[in-house]
Chain A
Amino acid sequence: MQIIIQSFDFNFLLILLLTFPLASALLSAMTGKSDRLRNRLLRHAALVGASAALFTMGLVVYRRFRLPLGAMQLHLDWGDWFSVPPLTAGIYLRMDTEAGILCSVAIAGTLMLQIINTFRGRDPRIRGAINAILCAALLFILADNLVPVIAALAAIGPLAAITALKSRDDSDYGNRSARLLLTHGIGNALALLGLFLIFGALGAMDYQGIAREAAAYPPSQKEAALGIAVLLFGVGFRTGPGLLNALCPSAAAVYLAYRLDVLVKTLPSWVVMAAAILMGTWAIVNIALTVLETAKTGRFLPDFSSPLHGIAGSFFDDFLDRVVFYGGMDKMIRIPQHIGNFIASKSGGFRGKLYIALAGVVITAGVYLMVGPWRR
């Protein structure tokens, strides 16, 4: 057994990690609604594919801990996707500890979703979209260049809209899906603007190039700082009513902030201060809303997201700034949304969103908790 596991090359494992969700997506897309043998086989094959992705991830984790130098990074270089210097987009996949944890969470979560969807007998094409989202999410996590990162985000938009479209005959689902597409579109445009600002300022798109250029970048110029702020705002903007749509943006923005740590640190102090003030404001608004909601429904439904961000940040001094920054951004986006939902009780709803937001924050905070001690 040991020999079999050792025989797997890391690069091969990374390819498998992306291939299995994609294969599952294709299989799910091909599956019909009826209970024919072909459909049943395809349905199970898609589930097997999703499980295989988790198994592959398990192999990666196992290998990582078995290695004498546990901090070794896995990387795969597929060369340039396209290149007209200086704008070069490469497909360099890289997996370190943080990426590994996020990949595991994403794969396991998606598998759970698929199982739930299968047993509830939902349209198999939605499972196809979920798998495709997983594939894009893995690309987002593993990519070493901002262009594939933005490409993954842009692909997630329409896919997320498909997952929200649980029934094509129900106009409520249709509206929800369209709204989601619009939110993702605005988020993508902002992220793209951030990408261009960073590229315009630093002339690099890959993480290492950005780190190199940022070190030599004069602190008096603020284009790069503005770029990272707009980029993170764009990534965090796309919250939606569904589980995936609420979970992914928060984790994605924090992860990107972590990856572009060198740029986040160039943010002016007033931005961080403003974010912190917003966060405080949100905490007060949140308490008021919670009291109102409790009075209305008779159930106590607190939102721990703000304190959790703070608690998570307090563990790690160097993370504090960006956690506070992201938290502030997050709140700024969500205040009108939550108030709107509370007043109009629109799709997704206050309560539904609260649980999801809570789960997202727990996972995000969990990543910090797990990553921090190892980094020390």
Chain B
Amino acid sequence: MRYLTVITFFPLIIAATSLVVARIRGTTGYLTARMLLTVLLCLIIFIAVGYQPKLDDPQSLWMVEPPFAIFAQWNLNYAPALDGISLLPALSVIVLTTMAFFARAAGPISSMTLLLASLACSLGALFASDLMLFIIFMESSLSLNLLSVALKKRSLLPVVRKAFITQSLTMAPILLAVLAIHWKGGGAGFMPAGIVEATLDFSPAMQLLLALSFCLTLGFRIPLVPIHGWFMEISDESDPASATTLFAMVSLVAAYGFIRFTLPLFPAVPPLFWSAIGAAAALGLLHMGLVAYGRSRPAQIITRVRVAAANLVIVGMISATRPAVAGAVFILVTQSLAFAVLCLMLDSLDRRGNPSPEIIAAKMPRMATLAFIATLGIIGLPGTAGFVGQILTLGGAFRSHPIVAALAALGMGTLSVSLLSLLRRAFRRGMEKSDESIERLYFRELLPPIAILTIIIGLGIFPGVILHRITPSVDRLCEELRHRRVMAAAIEKPMRAVEDPFDAGAVKKPPLLGDK
């Protein structure tokens, strides 16, 4: 049972050997094929692992493999684990990397190698049950991905350098927070069980400070709207495949960290704080919708829609109700699929000199039709996977945070308007007499988008295939979250009582859950 370790490190080894072989022999085509095969192999193994019956069992939160110590002195163990919540982001990351390799503009061999290494780190972060390792993997993934972008397009170097500096600055809060937990908790280690026990003893003010640190770091990577500038700069300038993989590997992993670590670790944080984060995400969604409306290039609009989708996921997660969390995880995977289609489309257009939407409609009707279906999937037309994810997220969020959910729904509305206005431009005739000739779309370019669109529609009609896998884990997570909040409230009350000089009764901590 070391599948997860193999999947994590396999791409890394292949990447390293490919780089060496490329240096010695310079056979790029062969190596590209090999990397593609590696990713596909990961996908196949992963699907096989994901269908282990153990994941359906609500009693087993994690399917943990035997750990091996990385740095015993620090109690740092790599224990790869998988549950319904990490399953889908991991699947999305692999699928999107496959798409990036399919796209011809994958770039020089060094860039591709780094992309493969970044994939390995993303998977490592998604499988890590240890908080410190999660951070190390996440940061490595982001750094490698940024390097890959810079290697592919040298003109992006200043933007990437700026992103590196911001990354380093925003990494500090989470690192400090984790070290504070470790030391203040008396060497609690970084495994969730130890940390949870340690953080329960912290005062609400301390927990608020730590939660803020986590939100700052993860918010930069998701990216949440006030701190999203770096992603816009890189996405607008880089090629579609790079932007998509960057988004997949960084945003999905950070969103996963948000739900897996940030929410359960700080149960005493006042609900108002989470509501504020949710409101910021909802306002960000609205803002992105409005900004996207003012853009004209398809790639720019899609970048903003991506950020908006990430913000919608956060809205679902902070509400912490079962439908909302399940919907948020569902959106993570379905939006990624829709973006993969658009990435492939944009890549095909990129190679044809980025014609305007009107020319696409006149000269490439098949591409326009496929893009139309993918866009409807993002908007959430019934019958596509987007509808199920959105109705679960917004419906679930509405029960706990009605105003945030209403704002998010409004944001989705504005987003739909901007996407539909793009489609309207793409479907309006009148450019047929244009003399501009465009290379026709080949079957091999159409095949992957059609396959993914089939999945999107299939998941819209039979969403149970995925929901069935994630629901037990989501149930368990929400139940734990609720339980920890109750415990934190129970601890907080006697602590207040002690401050009363006339009642110096002993503070008794209620028993913890015996899990993990």
Interface residues of A (CB under 8 A from B): 80-87, 89, 147, 150-152, 154-155, 158, 168-169, 174, 178, 181-182, 185-186, 189, 192-193, 195-197, 199-200, 203
Contact = CB atoms under 8 A, between A and B. Distances in A.
Contacts of A181: 420
A309 B101 CA distance: 62
A197 B402 CA distance: 8
B376 A158 contact: yes
A82 B470 CA distance: 12
28 contacts: A80-B464, A82-B392, A82-B464, A83-B464, A84-B327, A84-B471, A84-B474, A87-B392, A89-B391, A150-B391, A151-B387, A152-B382, A155-B381, A155-B383, A168-B427, A168-B429, A181-B420, A185-B413, A186-B413, A189-B410, A192-B391, A193-B406, A196-B398, A196-B405, A196-B406, A196-B409, A199-B395, A200-B398
B151 interface: no
B409 A189 contact: yes
Interface in B386-429: 387-388, 391-392, 394-396, 398-399, 402, 405-406, 409-410, 413, 416-417, 420, 424, 427-429
B467 interface: yes
A176 to B, nearest CB: 12
B194 interface: no
A199 B383 contact: no
A199 B424 CA distance: 34
A345 to B, nearest CB: 24
B359 interface: no
Contact of B392 (A84, A182, A192, A203): A84
A181 to B, nearest CB: 6
B430 interface: yes
A364 B326 CA distance: 40
Given A169-B429, A196-B395, A196-B406, 9 more contacts: A82-B464, A82-B467, A86-B322, A87-B322, A87-B392, A154-B387, A168-B429, A185-B416, A189-B409
A174 B424 contact: yes
Contacts of A169: 429-430
A195 B383 contact: no
A160 to B, nearest CB: 13
Interface of B is mostly: helix
A85 B322 contact: yes
A84 B382 contact: no
A195 B394 CA distance: 11
B399 A192 contact: no
B149 to A, nearest CB: 36
Contact of A200 (B322, B327, B402, B467): B402
A196 B382 contact: no
B399 A182 contact: no
B189 interface: no
Interface of A is mostly: helix
A100 B391 CA distance: 29
B241 to A, nearest CB: 29
Contacts of B398: 196-197, 199-200
Contact of B394 (A83, A178, A192): A192
B323 A87 contact: yes
Contacts of A83: 464, 467
A189 B390 CA distance: 12
Nearest to A148: B382
B463 interface: yes
A158 B429 contact: no
Contact of A84 (B326, B387, B394): B326
B417 A185 contact: yes
A85 B468 CA distance: 12
B412 to A, nearest CB: 8
A81 B424 CA distance: 31
Contacts of B326: 84
A186 B382 CA distance: 16
A192 B416 contact: no
Contacts of B427: 168
B323 A84 contact: yes
Contacts of A195: 395
Contacts of B413: 185-186, 189
Contact of A158 (B381, B402, B409, B430): B381
Contacts of B323: 84-87
A169 B433 CA distance: 13
Contacts of B380: 154
8 A-B pairs closest in CB distance: A151-B382, A87-B323, A196-B398, A84-B326, A82-B463, A84-B323, A168-B429, A155-B382
Interface in B79-129: none
Most buried by B among A85, A155, A196: A196
A174 B425 CA distance: 10
Contacts of A178: 424
A337 to B, nearest CB: 20
Contacts of A182: 417
Interface in B133-152: none
A174 B428 contact: yes
B395 A154 contact: no
Most buried by B among A84, A147, A158, A185: A84
Contacts of A82: 388, 392, 463-464, 467
B362 to A, nearest CB: 11
Interface string B334-359: 00000000000000000000000000
A11 B416 CA distance: 37
Nearest to A188: B413
Contacts of B430: 169
A86 B323 CA distance: 7
A186 B410 CA distance: 10
A147 B327 contact: no
Given A82-B392, A84-B327, A87-B392, A200 B399 contact: yes
A316 to B, nearest CB: 33
A119 B430 CA distance: 28
Interface in B413-464: 413, 416-417, 420, 424, 427-430, 463-464
Nearest to A151: B382
Given A80-B464, A83-B467, A155-B381, A199 B322 contact: no
A247 to B, nearest CB: 21
A200 to B, nearest CB: 5
Contacts of A193: 406, 409
A192 B376 contact: no
Contacts of B387: 151, 154
A200 B394 CA distance: 11
Contacts of A196: 394-395, 398, 402, 405-406, 409
A186 B416 CA distance: 11
Contacts of B417: 182, 185
A185 B419 CA distance: 13
B311 to A, nearest CB: 18
Contacts of A81: 463
A147 B387 CA distance: 10
Contacts of A168: 427-429
A163 to B, nearest CB: 15
B396 A87 contact: yes
A169 B427 CA distance: 10
